[in-house]
Amino acid sequence: MPDDRWRPSVTVAAVIERDGRYLLVEEDTADGVRLNNPAGHLDPGESPLEAVVRETLEETAHAFSPTALVGIYLSRFTRPARGEDVTYVRFAFTGSVGERIAGRALDAGIHRTLWLTADEMRAEAARMRSPLVLRCLDDHLAGRRFPLDLLATDPSVYAPAGKP
């Protein structure tokens, strides 16, 4: 019997502000080059916090130190022509980054990093990978901050029962 249970894709994103500018990545997507928060999928065996630190480093070459959760978002993306219908659960974190690590390459598909103001981001709304980029910006600007200990990762994530 096939397993047709609905399984949303879990993603993480970093909303990083420095001196009134937000760190974004310009990346390849199926719809062309788009702007996004440093973001990506939760991998097996990692917590959302570990995932956002890893993804930010891979996509920006900056070490990220999360300080708060901005929000948890549910969204659906459909592209009927390609048979895509994906629901995403996005954990968005805020925090700080150090200087870019010299010599560290960006992930495949990442063209470059940019620091944009909120107004510049809004002016580029059509180039955003997802409406969630601007939603996370608005929530960050509104001061939404939740403690990191709101999220708990059970030890079974790292060593599932019955597996060595």
Residue 49's pLDDT is 98
Instruction: Name 61's Cβ contacts closer than 8 Å, sequence gap at least 6.
Output: 100, 101, 104, 105, 106, 113
- Domains, the chain, in order of start with CATH, read 9-146 (3.90.79.10)
Task: Give pLDDT, residue 164.
Answer: 57
What pLDDT was estimated at residue 160?
A: 66
- Cα R_g (the chain), whole angstroms: 16
Rounded to two decimals, what is the model's pTM?
0.92
- pLDDT value, residue 163: 60
Under a CB-based contact definition with an 8 Å cutoff, are residues 84 and 6 in contact? Answer: no
Q: Which of 14, 95, 17 is nearest to 58 (CA)?
A: 14
Question: Which distant-in-sequence residues (6+ apart) come within 8 Å of 126 by Cβ?
Answer: none
* Interior/surface letters 22-54, b for 16+ CB within 10 angstroms, e for the rest: bbbbbbeeeeeebbbbbbbebeeebbbbbbbbb
- Across the chain, which has 164 residues, the per-10-residue mean pLDDT values are 80 98 96 96 96 98 98 90 87 97 96 98 97 97 98 89 62
Quote the pLDDT of residue 5: 83
Buried b (16+ CB within 10 A) or exposed e, 78-105: eeeeeeeeeebebbbbbbebeeeeeeee
Residues 6 or more apart whose CB falls under 8 angstroms from that of 68 comprise 93, 94, 95, 145, 146, 147, 148
What was the pLDDT predicted at 153? 95
CA 18 to chain centre: 17
Q: What is the pLDDT of residue 1?
A: 55
Say what the alpha-carbon torsion angle 140, 143, 148, 149 is, to the nearest 10 degrees: -150
